[in-house]
Amino acid sequence: MFSLKKWTLCKVLAVILCLIIAGEAHYALSQQGQGSGQADPLETQFNTARTAYLAGDFEAAKTVLEKLIADLEGVEGRDTFKGTTYLLAGATYEQLKFRELAIKYDCKAKAILGAGKTIEGIDLKTLKYYDADCGGVIAGQVGVLEIQFNDARAAYFAGNFEVAKTLLEKLIADLGVIEGQDTFKGTTYLLAGATYEKLKFRELAIKYYCKAKAILGAGKTIEGLDLKKLKYYTADCAAAIAGAVAAAPKGRSFFGSVFGILLSVAILGGVVWYLFFSKNAPFKKKATTTTTTFKSSCFSTTWHFTIHSEWSGSLGDVTLTPNQVPQPSENNGWEDQVTYTLASSGGGTLLSVSLILDITIGGGDNAKRHDIVTIDGVERLNQSNSFSQACSSPGTIKYDNVYSRSSLGSFTAKHKVELSSSVGSIATSMKVIQK
């Protein structure tokens, strides 16, 4: 006999086990192959940015790349990696319509990698700024950066530390593609350290203080900045670096990771078998048969169409004929068949057309409806739902993208509604919103 308490307990245990297994498997996979080392954080940032770029999230890619370029500034060697990073940055800035930044990073990438060299996922033929003349592009950049520095310094001494932080983070990212100018970089890092200290970011403050001291030497400052009032400036840079390394998580052995994965799979398999396939599985579907007769005093069906369309180039307009076909009926199993014609006007090239189905339902005690839409002989919708709304206060069920196509012309839609209830009513509409 079915026990509600046992069934609920099984669900709770299943959720707990799945969470434990998912965490174990994720940790094992993340550590596999690392041995006793740690994943390269720069590579991780680059892969994150590239994934965001390929997914079309260019703002997210830009945010990660700006930090990555700032981190790369103090890294010796790794020229090829820097080149691919600049190439991805150039493509990202072009997608965001920052022409100057796109050309700047494209030129830096070509200087390292050579013209025509790319990475997976970036087609140079689609980048209109990639072939821009790099001669003179770098000229004048230092003057622009000095203006940024002066703005950041003014914000700092005015107490606007958040503004200073924003300006300095952009400045440090831009410094990554400037050769030389060590003294200027050192003063920028010093101001960044002081800004992060004011904002109580201890680790970042020490990091930039150490970078500044490595370039300028200890005790060197800028006008108006009193080092004696900066409590993190005297931090031991060697100890800070050692502490960061010691804090890094240790990897697990390969065999330990494999064993963890196999154990997780075995446990998960046992849970799935018990819940769905064993003799008394709580989640096993039970065969049931219900037969009822529909009776209604307010059942009607109307199909309304408008169009959602996407265009390349100028925005056009799509019309559908007929755009509304009322079909009142009180019969169970009602259906109709209508041929519709799509036409367009205006400029641009039509990329796609899609239909969204909105069902307005009402009436009945535990009533059930079964909606079926067949277009050009292909079933596009086959969905059952229950409802209990009254005729005077209908509810709504929405089916997105019932049908889509990339061309105009005609199509034949067959609409069918099957109903079952002791007392009930229904009103139906198909509606697609044009954007």
Q: What is the pLDDT along the chain (435 residues), one digit of tens a residue?
A: 455 555 555 555 655 665 565 555 555 444 444 444 567 889 999 999 999 999 999 999 999 999 999 888 767 778 889 999 999 999 999 999 998 888 888 888 888 888 888 988 898 888 988 888 776 555 455 667 888 899 999 999 999 999 999 999 988 887 766 666 788 899 999 999 999 999 999 999 999 999 999 999 988 998 889 998 998 999 888 776 665 545 544 445 555 666 777 787 888 888 777 777 776 676 665 544 444 344 444 444 555 555 667 766 666 777 777 765 545 444 556 677 788 787 877 666 777 777 766 665 554 444 566 777 788 888 888 877 766 666 666 666 666 667 777 777 888 888 777 666 544 443 444 444 433
3 state SS of 161: helix
How many CB atoms are closer than 10 A to CB 304?
Answer: 14
Predicted pLDDT at 290: 40
The reply to whether 224 and 345 lie within a common domain is no
Does residue 427 contact residue 296 with C-beta atoms inside 8 Å?
no
Residues 225 and 264 placed together within one structural domain of the fold: no
Please state the pTM of the whole predicted model.
0.33
Give me the domain span that covers residue 260: 4-35+253-277
Integer CA distances (angstroms), 391 to 112, 125, 190, 298, 328, in order: 71, 59, 72, 7, 15
288 belongs to a structural domain: no
User: Do 350 and 414 share a structural domain?
Assistant: yes
Same domain as 10, residue 118: no
**Which of helix, strand or coil describes residue 200?**
coil
d(CA 218, CA 207): 14
* Residue matched to tokens 């969204």: 356
Residues written for the chain: 435
pLDDT of residue 140: 52
Q: Please tell me whether residues 26 and 86 are part of one structural domain.
A: no
| Packed helices 161-175 and 141-157: angle between N→C axes, nearest 10 degrees | 160
Residue 288: the pLDDT is 45
One domain for residues 123 and 164? yes
- CA distance linking residue 194 with residue 165, whole number of Å: 10
* Of 185, 179, 205, 169, nearest in space to 69 by CA: 169
Eight-class DSSP state of 328: -
Q: Within a domain: residue 291?
A: no
Looking at the structure, tell me whether residues 341 and 258 fall in a common domain.
Answer: no
Distances (CA, A) of 354 to 307, 308, 310, 414, 433: 7, 5, 9, 17, 9
> Are residues 227 and 103 part of one domain?
yes
Whether residues 45 and 12 share a domain: the answer is no
Examine residue 83 and state whether it is found in any structural domain, yes or no: yes
Distance, CA of 102 to CA of 89 (rounded, Å)? 7
Looking at the fold, whether 105 and 226 belong to one and the same domain comes out as yes
Who contacts 244 (Cβ-Cβ below 8 Å, separation ≥6)? 203
Q: What is the pLDDT of residue 398?
A: 67
Whether residue 163 lies inside any domain: the answer is yes
185: which 2 tokens?
């970089």
Structural domains counted in the chain: 3
Look up tokens 């007929």; give the residue. 322
